[in-house]
Each structure stands twice: as structure tokens, then as C-alpha cells.
């Protein structure tokens, strides 16, 4: 089957982890995937909709098109699939306008109802797609190529926390600066490595600035000791797919995070890391891991095994192959 994917850009994080990573395995199974940057303007979208009509299926990734654009794409595509990994029917956690958006919801309903298949990054997203009227929904998690991640060595007492993200998601860390400073005051020798395109300063927790680059992100993560993630407990964050947590676990790091959304299932409390809510729980978790390299190594190994079993590129590719083969045969079940 020839699949044409309309994406924000081939290098966008969503394209890299949810489509590009699976392309070799799909090709080996007899399916080709071509990535096309979705133009920002109406005329460009009109043109590209015409250029992909010869594909057996068109994947629209994340973008909420207007109802006329969806109708045009529906007419031009033999099969239309929609892939998404965020709660895109609402505004994000940092919007001054609040979460609810009639325009976003209207467009979300239009695309999931028009699509022959909807591919969601987690169960929360899948449930909302079904509620919005999707006919057939599959869950394919965001996956990482575990074999490309070096394994952390965990040889020292003390710890470098690591957080990876972008300037937009860094606002989440800024919201918990008080917690981060408390960790810095109460856990001697701890530092926070930020792998990002923007950085913050903290009064009591030293920050190590590590500019993000695709070529070096895995090594930067593995050079740390503890992976950390924090998201607000809100409807937008419950739709997140936990990429940074998967990256930490793939690199053999124990993870400390708050129990929101997929964090609850990805991190096994006391086995692959700790789920912490209060300041005292965060401090205790970091203290415990900072003073015990062997515990970090054991938890990190278990976490890497979880990723290999449930969130590896091999697992995700198999799900895609099953989906494509089922749809091709006309007998797929959601």
C-alpha cells in the first residue's frame, strides 16, 4: 500500500516519532510512506490535496482543517486516516482563554467523522475521538527506538536530574520553580540538566544548560541520573503521550513524575521510578535515588524493559502493519 502523510514537517517531533520511525518496518512489510509538509495556506492545501489522490491512503497528522478542507480531502483520498497525539480539540494548559474552544471542537468532530480510521496516541485521546463520532479508532502509542539509546552507567552518589523539552513546555517547569528550589535546598549535590532550546534560572537548584539537538539528545539524557517530568493535572495534560518519560526509560534512567495521564501507567511506582505529588514526596524520591546508584541502575533496567515490551518502534510498527493490512483487506476491527 502507498501511504501519503500530510504533516507539519518531516522533522517535527510528531512526524519523527509517530511516522518516520516506523517507515523502514512498513517498507519491509510492503508499504511505502511519503511525508508531505502540509501548506499553511488554503491554495497550497488545495494543490497538495490533488497531488496525493493517487495514494492508497492519506494520513492527516494532528492538523485541524476547516470543514470545507476536510470535505475536499475526503473526496480526493481513497482512504483518509487521522493521527493525533494531543488533546487538540481544546486549548493547551497555558492558554489565557481557557481550555474550551468551539472552533477546535467543531473541526475535530469534522475530521474524526470523515476519517476511515483514527489513530490516537493513548486511551484518553481514543475515548474522546469515539465520543466525537469517529467510526473506527486504534491506539498506537508514541514509540522510541530503544536500541539507539545508550544506557546510563549510574556510578556516582549524587544526581543530575534531566528534563527534555521545548520552550513551550518549559513553562510547566517555571510553574513549579518553588518545588525545584526545595529539591535543590534539601538534596545536596543535585543539579538539573535542561535539554532544551530555552533555559531558566533557579535560586537554589543549579541548572546545566544543554542545547537540544536531534543528534545528541539521547547521549545527553543517558549522561544524567534521574529523569523528571511534571505536567499540570488538567484535561490538556491528560492527553499527553509521555515522550520524555519514554526517552528517560529507554536510556536506563529511573523516572520521577506526577501521576497524571499516561504517567500513571508508564511509571511503575517503586519499580521503575516514583510517582510523586506533594513537595515532600518529590524530595524523598530524589533523595532516595540520589544516594543509591544501584537502585537507580535496577529501576532504570526495569524501565528500559518496559519500553522494549510496550513502547518500542518494533511494537508500534507491528500495530501499524496490522492496521494497514486490516484496512486493506476490508476486515479491520477497532
**Tens-of-pLDDT digits for all 334 residues of the chain?**
999 999 999 999 999 999 999 999 999 999 999 999 999 888 888 888 777 888 999 999 999 999 999 999 999 999 999 999 999 999 999 999 999 999 999 999 999 999 999 999 999 999 999 999 999 999 999 999 999 999 999 999 889 999 999 998 999 999 999 999 999 999 999 999 999 999 999 999 999 999 999 999 999 999 999 999 999 999 999 999 999 999 999 999 999 999 999 999 999 999 999 999 999 999 999 999 999 999 999 999 999 999 999 999 999 999 999 999 988 776 444 4
Residue 263, in any domain of the structure = yes
Residues 6+ apart with CB under 8 A from 100: 90, 91
Residue 82, in any domain of the structure = yes
For 263-300, what is the HEC assignment? HHHHCCECCCEEECCCHHHHHHHHHHHHCCHHHHHHHH
Q: For the whole model, what pTM was predicted?
A: 0.95
Check residue 203 and give left, alpha or beta (phi > 0: left; psi -120 to 50: alpha): alpha
In 3-state terms, what secondary structure has residue 100? coil
Residue 85, in any domain of the structure = yes
- CATH number of the domain where residue 244 is located: 3.40.50.2000
Residues 153, 120 share a domain: no
Q: What is the per-residue pLDDT for 330?
A: 62
Residues 275, 154 share a domain: yes
Q: What is the per-residue pLDDT for 334?
A: 43
The grid cell for 316 is 508500534
Residues 321, 232 share a domain: no
Domain housing 136: 2-143+312-329
In 3-state terms, what secondary structure has residue 62? coil
The grid cell for 14 is 510528531
In 3-state terms, what secondary structure has residue 34? strand
Residues 77, 17 share a domain: yes
CB 81 within 8 A of CB 117: yes
Distances (CA, A) of 297 to 137, 151, 243, 251: 38, 9, 21, 11
Residues 200, 108 share a domain: no
Residues 80, 178 share a domain: no
Residues 113, 171 share a domain: no
Q: How many CB atoms lie within 10 A of CB 310?
A: 14
- E strand map for the chain: 2-7, 32-37, 57-61, 80-84, 117-120, 137-139, 160-164, 191-196, 207-211, 226-229, 255-257, 273-275
Q: Which of 23, 11, 59, 37 is nearest to 215 (CA)?
A: 11
Residues 133, 14 share a domain: yes
CB 180 within 8 A of CB 201: no
Residue 72, in any domain of the structure = yes
Residues 211, 81 share a domain: no
Residue 334, in any domain of the structure = no
Residues 239, 161 share a domain: yes
Residue 8, in any domain of the structure = yes
Structural domain total, the chain: 2
Residue 226, in any domain of the structure = yes
Question: What burial class does residue 131 get, using C-beta atoms within 10 Å of its C-beta: 0-12 exposed, 13-18 middle, 19+ buried?
Answer: exposed
Q: What is the per-residue pLDDT for 50?
A: 77
Residues 218, 279 share a domain: yes
Query: Half-sphere exposure of 303 toward its Cβ, with a 13 Å CA cutoff?
Result: 35
Residue 90, in any domain of the structure = yes
Residues 67, 40 share a domain: yes
Residues 6+ apart with CB under 8 A from 325: 29
Amino acid at each position: 500500500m502507498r501511504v501519503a502523510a500530510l504533516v507539519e514537517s518531516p522533522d517535527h517531533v510528531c512526524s519523527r516519532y509517530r511516522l518516520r520511525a516506523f517507515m523502514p518496518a512498513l517498507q519491509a512489510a510492503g508499504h511505502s510512506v511519503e511525508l508531505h509538509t502540509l501548506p499553511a495556506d488554503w491554495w497550497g492545501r488545495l494543490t497538495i490535496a490533488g497531488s496525493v489522490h493517487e495514494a492508497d491512503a492519506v494520513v492527516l497528522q494532528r492538523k485541524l482543517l476547516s470543514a470545507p478542507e476536510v470535505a475536499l480531502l475526503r473526496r480526493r483520498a481513497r482512504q483518509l486516516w487521522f493521527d493525533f497525539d494531543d488533546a487538540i480539540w481544546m486549548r493547551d494548559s497555558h492558554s489565557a482563554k481557557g481550555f474550551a474552544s468551539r472552533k477546535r471542537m467543531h473541526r475535530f468532530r469534522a475530521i474524526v467523522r470523515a476519517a476511515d480510521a483514527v489513530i490516537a496516541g493513548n486511551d484518553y485521546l481514543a475515548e474522546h475521538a469515539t465520543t466525537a463520532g469517529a467510526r473506527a479508532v486504534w491506539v498506537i502509542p508514541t514509540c522510541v527506538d530503544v536500541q539507539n539509546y545508550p544506557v546510563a552507567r549510574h556510578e556516582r552518589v549524587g544526581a543530575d536530574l534531566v528534563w527534555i523539552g521545548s520552550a513551550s513546555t518549559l513553562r510547566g517547569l517555571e510553574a513549579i520553580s518553588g518545588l525545584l528550589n526545595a529539591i535543590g535546598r534539601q538534596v545536596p549535590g543535585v543539579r538539573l540538566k535542561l535539554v532544551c532550546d530555552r533555559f531558566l534560572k533557579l535560586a537554589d537548584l543549579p541548572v546545566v544548560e544543554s542545547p537540544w539537538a536531534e543528534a545528541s539528545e539521547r547521549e545527553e539524557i543517558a549522561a544524567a541520573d534521574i529523569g523528571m517530568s511534571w505536567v499540570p493535572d488538567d484535561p490538556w495534560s491528560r492527553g499527553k503521550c509521555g515522550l520524555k518519560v519514554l526517552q528517560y526509560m529507554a536510556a536506563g534512567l529511573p523516572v520521577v513524575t506526577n501521576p497524571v495521564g499516561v504517567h500513571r501507567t508508564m511509571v511503575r511506582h517503586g519499580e521503575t521510578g516514583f510517582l510523586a505529588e506533594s513537595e515532600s514526596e518529590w524530595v524523598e524520591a530524589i533523595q532516595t535515588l540520589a544516594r543509591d546508584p544501584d537502585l537507580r541502575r535496577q529501576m532504570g533496567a526495569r524501565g528500559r524493559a518496559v519500553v522494549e515490551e510496550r513502547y518500542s518502534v518494533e511494537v508500534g510498527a507491528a500495530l501499524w502493519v496490522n492496521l494497514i493490512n486490516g484496512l486493506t483487506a476490508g476486515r479491520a476491527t477497532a
